[in-house]
Structure 1
Amino acid sequence: MIIRTLSIPSILIALTACSIAPTPESQTTLDLTAEQHWVSHYWQVSRTAVPEYPRQAAQRELNGCVRFQLTIDSHGRPQQIELIESFPAGVFDQSARRALAKFQWQPGEKNPEAQPARIPFQLDFTLEGGGSNYDEAGTFCFISGNERSVASVSTSNNR
């Protein structure tokens, strides 16, 4: 039986070589948080999830929105989801986060290598027929035109 021994330096060199090999996840992340108009050129939503309308919000006839910043990884999955602000504060946050975690993106025309990107994202919650705070929500969330939101999903509920 032949037993070969490797010296510690040769093992360290082999391990170091493996650890510095580039991986798709080590790509530089684009920061598009201030360049909202470019987001759809780099990443496009390919699968959404409709957030559950919180029962208390529906009973009180509340509209609102939740703004996030998140990173889309090279596989089109949301990572590092960070809540920026919401209206009314705390009402739709959990529902929006759960739904957003299920979203999927595909690379856009300017992103053939699927480079990860940090983006802003807004989910809107609106009731058919208005609601008790429709004007306030429309002003804060820009629901009527959604000029500030890169993407939005409106959910309707007639409860």
Structure 2
Amino acid sequence: MKLQQLLLIMSAMMTLTSCTSHNTQVLNSSEPLDLTHSKIAAQEYWVAAKLVSPKYPVANARHKIAGCSRFKLSINSNGETVDTELIESYPNNKFVAPSQGALKQWLWTPTDQNEARKAITRLVQLDFYMTDAKNYAQAKRHCAVGTQY
């Protein structure tokens, strides 16, 4: 009888143990906060301290082509721009290299709300316009979509 009771208790304990759920996911506090949904939300954490303008690509300038490049980038806890990822470049990819080169030099200052210097991910758009560009109107229309970044 005691053996049956012992087996019953052991079986019940094993069943209860297997039903227990353990949350093994650990949140990494160094992961950037994703604020790609809102320029306003991103500005509540970091404001630009140093912006470097990209050079207009020679081929696009020569052919009088206007456009823009959109990027997802991260701002680390030191206020440095890191991990630039191209989202889109219009109308060609000639704006990408000068944009990435400039973005990597951008520096940011934490706002008073971001005393902890929380890293974030946000969207940024760089525009390239010449008033006499052949595609000025089309570029303005296409790139206007990204002005919220």
Structure 1, unaligned stretches of length 5 or more? 1-24, 150-159
Which residue of structure 2 lines up, in the alignment, with residue 148 of structure 1?
148
Instruction: Identify which of 90, 104, 107 aligns with 2:107.
Output: 104
- After the TM superposition, which of the residue ranges 32-41 and 44-53 deviates more from structure 2? 32-41
Alignment of 1:83 onto 2:86 = yes
Alignment of 1:32 onto 2:26 = no
- After the TM superposition, which of the residue ranges 129-138 and 63-72 deviates more from structure 2? 129-138
C-alpha RMSD of matched pairs (Å): 1.8
Which residue of structure 1 lines up, in the alignment, with residue 3 of structure 2?
none
- Per the TM alignment, residue 141 of structure 1 is displaced from its structure 2 partner at its CA by 0.7
1:32–1:108 distance in 2 versus 1, CA, 3 Å: same
- Per the TM alignment, residue 147 of structure 1 is displaced from its structure 2 partner at its CA by 3.4
Which residue of structure 2 lines up, in the alignment, with residue 133 of structure 1?
135
Which residue of structure 2 lines up, in the alignment, with residue 11 of structure 1?
none
Q: Following TM superposition, where does structure 1 have runs of at least 4 consecutive aligned residues deviating by more than 6 angstroms?
A: none
How many aligned positions are there?
122
Identity of aligned residues (%): 32
1:41–1:130 distance in 2 versus 1, CA, 3 Å: farther
- Per the TM alignment, residue 34 of structure 1 is displaced from its structure 2 partner at its CA by 1.1
Alignment of 1:121 onto 2:124 = yes
- Per the TM alignment, residue 26 of structure 1 is displaced from its structure 2 partner at its CA by 5.2
Instruction: Identify which of 61, 64, 67 aligns with 1:64.
Output: 67
- Take 2:32 and 2:75, find their aligned partners in 1: how far apart are those partners? 9
- After the TM superposition, which of the residue ranges 108-117 and 25-34 deviates more from structure 2? 25-34
- Per the TM alignment, residue 131 of structure 1 is displaced from its structure 2 partner at its CA by 1.1
- Per the TM alignment, residue 27 of structure 1 is displaced from its structure 2 partner at its CA by 2.8
Which residue of structure 1 lines up, in the alignment, with residue 12 of structure 2?
none
- Take 1:130 and 1:83, find their aligned partners in 2: how far apart are those partners? 27
